């Protein structure tokens, strides 16, 4: 369920017409629905009701401070993958004890920052990382709370770029080596083992891969107990998929039931790291039609948003629905919807049948709330779009449109290149 609805052939976000928002804030424009964000968070959270759990929103899916703040107010924590994301969480007012830190390439300064912040746990991905964290914790005279990220060798049946739990992927440690790694961690003075984690991929549309990997992890927890390693937190990652097109992912309650069925008898706190399922369908990207043109092969609708604003279609060949913000013509037009970037891979959608657009019409790219703005860039020196949060009848600018001046911030021409 989301709060982007057509009313009399015109698209609304909650109680505001998208056309009004585009006029007010310009295009391209990211728009998020506050009610949808809260609804999705609560639906997910309540699915685990009755079992000790913590929802750590995956910050990389959408890291805008206002979005993070929304979930923090709902009691959520953050799953981070960089020092920058720790910084964002703190700026949004998070309780540091609700931060879990994953990622294969944590640097020394990032580790120090997280240690000083006092996060809930590091999800460790290699022995070398474990040793460095131990060393840094020692130098800061503290103990680092850690879990190992296990690679369970499970095929999540998703796009290869977003599958993370296969042996050939760079993530986690091989489950067959896990016991030895835990023993090593046990011997380190500045390490405190608190948990176990696993995250097998993204946009997963069945419960089976989650259950399968959970069973493997459960077996490991049992073995660890025999070695007197007590696991307090079981972090099962994120990855639950959403409907972009015709996918039929399990509802969060179905997902929760499948998981709870497996761990009902464990004395453990469950940590969840949902990203896409919370924000994906809570945001859209609105673009303006600049031109249309036809080659002998096909038609093109050229809009003012490109792959620098939303890269999922280009990067993953991902499908995102495109709908007119206002239906102005009964005539249909089959076309590729492309951006202004100088790359043939710069498209938002291909081969779509839409009402024939006029220049200046608005198109909405749906399901753009996750991995949308956060993956945007300044390629072609295009200022990044503005982001707006809608709550009921009100809209709030939560990120200014970038200016040309911001585009060159930090750049310098060395003296020797300057005129005498
Ligand atoms: C990306 C990521 C997530 C979130 O994945 P979604 O598919 O957006 O739910 C959770 N945990 C880790 C470690 C991740 O890298």
What does the H/E/C string look like for 18-31? Answer: HHHHHHHHCCCEEE
Helix (H/G/I), strand (E/B), else coil: 269: strand
The model's pTM is 0.96
Q: Please indicate, yes or no, whether residues 373 and 247 belong to a single structural domain of this protein.
A: no
Q: Please indicate, yes or no, whether residues 180 and 313 belong to a single structural domain of this protein.
A: no
pLDDT tier for residue 170 given thresholds of 50, 70 and 90: confident
Measured in Å, residue 333 CA sits from the centre of ligand 1 at 37
Q: How deeply is 132 buried, as exposed, middle or buried, from its count of CB atoms within 10 A (0-12, 13-18, 19+)? A: middle
Decide if 109 contacts 83 (C-beta within 8 A): yes
pLDDT at 329: 82
Q: Please indicate, yes or no, whether residues 303 and 230 belong to a single structural domain of this protein.
A: no
Q: Where is the domain boundary, 247, 279, 311?
A: 279
In a domain? residue 387: yes
Q: Please indicate, yes or no, whether residues 198 and 131 belong to a single structural domain of this protein.
A: yes
Mean pLDDT on 214-224: 95
Q: Comparing C-alpha atoms, which of 130, 143, 211, 232 is closest to residue 173?
A: 130
Residue 14: give the domain boundaries. 4-31+280-407
In a domain? residue 321: yes
> Which atom of ligand 1 is nearest to 61's Cα?
8
pLDDT at 313: 98
- Least confident interval from 167-181, 188-202, 269-283: 167-181
For ligand 1, atom 10: residue with the closest CA: 238
Q: Please indicate, yes or no, whether residues 244 and 291 belong to a single structural domain of this protein.
A: no
Q: Please indicate, yes or no, whether residues 15 and 54 belong to a single structural domain of this protein.
A: no
In a domain? residue 367: yes
Q: Please indicate, yes or no, whether residues 263 and 289 belong to a single structural domain of this protein.
A: no
Q: Is the CB of 156 under 6 A from ligand 1?
A: no
> Which atom of ligand 1 is nearest to 149's Cα?
13
Q: Please indicate, yes or no, whether residues 313 and 346 belong to a single structural domain of this protein.
A: yes
In a domain? residue 124: yes
Of the residues 13, 38, 198, 342, only one is catalytic, namely 342
Q: Please indicate, yes or no, whether residues 44 and 26 belong to a single structural domain of this protein.
A: no
pLDDT above 90 coverage of the chain, percent = 92
Q: Is the CB of 273 under 6 A from ligand 1?
A: yes
Q: Where is the domain boundary, 245, 279, 313?
A: 279
pLDDT at 159: 78
* Whole-angstrom distance, CA of residue 388 vs CA of residue 304: 17
> Which atom of ligand 1 is nearest to 201's Cα?
7
CATH of residue 386's domain is: 2.40.37.10
Q: Which residue in the block uniquely carries the two structure tokens 């390490």? A: 191
In this structure, what DSSP letter does residue 408 have? T
pLDDT tier for residue 229 given thresholds of 50, 70 and 90: very high
- Least confident interval from 122-136, 147-161, 189-203: 147-161
Task: Sheet with 4-7: list strands edge to edge.
Answer: 4-7, 10-13, 16-17
Measured in Å, residue 289 CA sits from the centre of ligand 1 at 33
In a domain? residue 417: no
> Which atom of ligand 1 is nearest to 202's Cα?
7
How far, rounded to the nearest angstrom, does the alpha carbon of residue 134 sit from its chain's CA centroid? Answer: 29
Per-residue pLDDT tens over the stretch 39-71: 999 999 999 999 999 999 999 999 999 999 999
Mean pLDDT on 296-304: 96
* Whole-angstrom distance, CA of residue 402 vs CA of residue 57: 26
Ligand 1 mutation target, pool 101, 148, 196, 238, most atoms within 8 A of CB: 238
In a domain? residue 304: yes
Q: Where is the domain boundary, 263, 279, 295?
A: 279
* Whole-angstrom distance, CA of residue 345 vs CA of residue 336: 11
Decide if 270 contacts 52 (C-beta within 8 A): yes
Q: Please indicate, yes or no, whether residues 11 and 70 belong to a single structural domain of this protein.
A: no
What is the H or E stretch that residue 114 is in? helix 108-117
Q: Please indicate, yes or no, whether residues 385 and 285 belong to a single structural domain of this protein.
A: yes
Q: Domains in the chain: how many in total?
A: 2
CATH of residue 240's domain is: 3.20.20.10
Measured in Å, residue 60 CA sits from the centre of ligand 1 at 8
Q: Is 342 one of the annotated active-site residues of the chain? A: yes
In a domain? residue 49: yes
* Whole-angstrom distance, CA of residue 163 vs CA of residue 54: 24
Q: Is the CB of 102 under 6 A from ligand 1?
A: yes
Q: Is the CB of 85 under 6 A from ligand 1?
A: no
Q: Please indicate, yes or no, whether residues 123 and 24 belong to a single structural domain of this protein.
A: no
Q: Is the CB of 79 under 6 A from ligand 1?
A: yes
In a domain? residue 413: no
Per-residue pLDDT tens over the stretch 303-359: 999 999 999 999 999 999 999 999 888 899 999 999 999 999 999 999 999 999 999
């Amino acid at each position: 369920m989301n709060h982007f609805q057509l009313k009399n052939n015109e698209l609304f976000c909650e109680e505001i017409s998208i056309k009004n928002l585009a006029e007010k804030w310009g295009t391209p424009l990211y728009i998020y629905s506050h009610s949808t964000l809260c609804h999705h968070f609560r639906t997910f959270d309540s699915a685990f009701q009755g079992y000790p759990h913590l929802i750590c929103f995956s910050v990389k899916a959408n890291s805008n401070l206002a979005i993070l703040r929304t979930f923090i107010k709902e009691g959520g924590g953050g799953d981070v993958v960089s020092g920058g994301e720790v910084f964002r969480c703190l700026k949004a007012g998070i309780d540091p004890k609700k931060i879990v830190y994953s990622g294969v390439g944590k640097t020394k300064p990032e580790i120090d920052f997280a240690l000083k912040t006092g996060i809930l746990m590091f999800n460790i991905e290699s022995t070398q990382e474990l040793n460095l964290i131990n060393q840094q914790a020692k130098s800061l005279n503290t103990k680092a709370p850690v879990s190992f990220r296990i690679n369970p060798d499970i095929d999540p049946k998703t796009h290869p770029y977003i599958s993370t739990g296969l042996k050939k992927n760079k993530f986690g440690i091989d489950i067959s080596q896990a016991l030895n790694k835990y023993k090593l961690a046990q011997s380190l003075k500045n390490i405190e083992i608190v948990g176990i984690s696993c995250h097998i991929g993204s946009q997963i549309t069945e419960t089976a891969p989650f259950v399968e990997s959970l069973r493997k992890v459960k077996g490991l927890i049992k073995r660890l107990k025999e070695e007197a390693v007590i696991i307090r937190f079981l972090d099962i990652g994120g990855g639950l998929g959403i409907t972009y097109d015709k996918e039929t992912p399990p509802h969060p309650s179905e997902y929760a039931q499948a998981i709870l069925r497996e761990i009902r008898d464990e004395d453990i706190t469950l940590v969840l790291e949902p990203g896409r399922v919370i924000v994906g369908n809570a945001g859209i990207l609105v673009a303006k039609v600049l031109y249309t043109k036809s080659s002998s092969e096909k038609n093109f609708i050229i809009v003012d948003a490109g792959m620098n604003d939303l890269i999922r279609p280009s990067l993953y060949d991902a499908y995102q629905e495109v709908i007119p913000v206002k239906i102005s013509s009964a005539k249909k037009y089959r076309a590729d919807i492309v951006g202004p970037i100088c790359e043939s891979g710069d498209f938002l959608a291909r081969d779509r049948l839409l009402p024939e657009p006029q220049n200046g019409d608005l198109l909405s790219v749906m399901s753009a709330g996750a991995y949308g703005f956060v993956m945007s860039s300044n390629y072609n020196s295009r200022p990044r779009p503005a982001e707006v949060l809608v709550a009921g009848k009100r809209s709030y600018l939560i990120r200014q449109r970038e200016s040309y001046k911001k585009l060159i911030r930090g750049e310098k021409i060395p003296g020797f290149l300057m005129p005498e």
